[in-house]
């Protein structure tokens, strides 16, 4: 599927507005996320590998904050459990509209339904596999525990959650080092210093990172039997939790 190059912050915006998942972002999203999030393609591919293992017959797999459906597609390629279906949820209609172009371009047995909804008040049912791939970080801090509890409550025993997030570090030296190398990664992918700095201003009131311990503690508090970090690249990480 062709998509545009992300040049949204290439010119001087003067006053930088808060980041929103609108039509402009949807148009360039695949390019933006690949050049901005180290390890993104690897994480998406591994979501497919894990979905294949955890999908149960006649269950539902949820892609929460699905954007253009990359994780849903990765799951769809590998899930063979009979009667399983994927539900891709996002509260940006612009993202969901574009995601249908990706999802409808392939004809595979596991169906993908798209749903425009806020994940903070979504009720999940018979969920064997749930993905929060860089989505929880956009949910207000005070709603994260309740959102994860609802997800846990809707999951089947033995079900798995993949939670990927940008991380914050308590240790200022570690925080400075890893965010500096994240910016090096963006520069190596062709972003200018102006683009990096304007994007940082746009996102800083919208994307609120927490520490790895914050995530692991919360996952255990809502009831997950196992919660572990399975991947990290600079200040971006992914966790796996099993009910």
Q: Between the CA of residue 120 and those of 96, 135, 144, 160, 243, what are the distances in Å?
A: 17, 11, 8, 19, 20
Interaction of residue 21 with ligand GEK, rule CB under 6 A: yes
Among the candidate windows 91-99, 104-112, 183-191, 212-220, which touches ligand GEK by CB under 6 A? 91-99
Interaction of residue 197 with ligand GEK, rule CB under 6 A: no
For ligand GEK (CB under 6 A), the number of binding residues is 21
| Interface mask toward ligand GEK for 127-156; x: CB under 6 A | ------xxx--xx-----------------
Cα separation of 26 and 110, whole Å? 25
Q: How many CB atoms lie within 10 A of CB 66?
A: 28
Closest-by-Cβ residue to ligand GEK is 65
Q: Quick one: 211 exposed, middle or buried, by C-beta within 10 A (0-12, 13-18, 19+)?
A: middle
Q: Which two tokens stand for residue 28?
A: 């360039």
In terms of CB distance, is 28 or 229 closer to ligand GEK? Answer: 28
Q: Which residues from 99-118 bind ligand GEK, rule CB under 6 A?
A: 118
- Please state whether beta strands 112-116 and 155-166 pair in parallel, antiparallel, or not at all (unpaired): unpaired
What is the contact surface with ligand GEK in residues (CB under 6 A)?
Answer: 21, 33, 44, 65-67, 70-71, 89-92, 95, 118-120, 133-135, 138-139
């Amino acid at each position: 599927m062709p998509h545009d190059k992300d040049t949204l912050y290439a010119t001087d915006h003067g006053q930088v507005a808060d980041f929103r998942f609108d039509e402009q972002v949807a148009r360039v999203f695949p390019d933006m996320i690949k050049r901005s999030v180290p390890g993104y393609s690897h994480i998406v591919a591994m979501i497919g590998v894990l979905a294949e293992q955890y999908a149960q017959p006649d269950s539902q797999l949820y892609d929460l904050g699905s954007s253009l459906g990359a994780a849903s597609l990765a799951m769809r390629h590998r899930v063979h459990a009979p009667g399983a279906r994927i539900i891709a949820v996002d509260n940006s209609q612009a993202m969901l509209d574009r995601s249908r172009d990706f999802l409808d371009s392939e004809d595979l047995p596991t169906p993908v339904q798209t749903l425009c909804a806020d994940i903070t008040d979504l009720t999940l049912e018979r969920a064997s596999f749930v993905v929060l791939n860089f989505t929880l970080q956009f949910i207000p801090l005070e709603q994260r525990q309740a959102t994860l509890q609802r997800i846990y409550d809707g999951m089947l025993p033995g079900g798995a959650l993949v939670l990927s997030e940008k991380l914050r570090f308590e240790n200022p030296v570690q925080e400075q080092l890893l965010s500096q190398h994240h910016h090096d990664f963006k520069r190596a992918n062709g972003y200018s210093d102006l683009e990096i700095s304007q994007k940082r201003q746009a996102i800083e009131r919208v994307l609120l990172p927490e520490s790895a311990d914050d995530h692991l503690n919360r996952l255990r508090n809502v009831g997950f039997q196992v919660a572990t970090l399975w991947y990290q690249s600079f200040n971006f990480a992914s966790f796996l939790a099993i009910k």
